[in-house]
Amino acid sequence: MYTEKVMDHFTNPRNVGQLENPSGVGEVGNPTCGDIMRIYIDVKDNVIQDIKFKTFGCGAAIATSSICTEMVIGKTIEEALELTNKDVASALGGLPANKMHCSNLAADALHEAIKDYKNKSEQG
């Protein structure tokens, strides 16, 4: 059902936790299945220096959050905004069709964190 890479990111998730003083925080959820993802980013000079996540959900939700964080560390805000949920699923070698919409919300959470960062920057 799940690829080896999905299972690896589920059983050994990377970048779990939260940042002390994040530049931005994004949270998304799917009320149908109950998955909730929160992503914290630390941005310096328009580059994502650090990223952490907390996810409440199934194995696919945890795996997508984990690989998403790996995919954007060191990327500019603009590069990170180009990441799609389809890119995240592809990086994991695919997800079952029934998991694509409910569990693959990591890019959405990332985009919300970037939006939060931009709002804070404009106010700051």
DSSP 63-122: HHHHHHHHHHTT-BHHHHHT--HHHHHHHTT---HHHHTTT--HHHHHHHHHHHHHHHHH
Query: What pTM was computed for the model?
Result: 0.94
Element (H, E) at 29: strand 24-29
- pLDDT for 45 equals 97
Look at residue 97 in the predicted model and tell me its pLDDT: 86
- Cite the active site residues: 33, 102
4-118 placed in CATH 3.90.1010.10: yes
Say whether pLDDT at 33 is over 80.
no
**3, pLDDT greater than 80:** yes
Task: Give me the residue label for tokens 């389809």.
Answer: 86
* Per-residue model confidence as pLDDT tens digits over 82-113: 999 999 999 999 998 888 876 779 999 999 99
Domain range list for the chain:
4-118
Is residue 22 scored above 80 in pLDDT?
Answer: yes
Task: Specify burial of residue 81 (Cβ count, 10 A radius: 0-12, 13-18, 19+).
Answer: middle
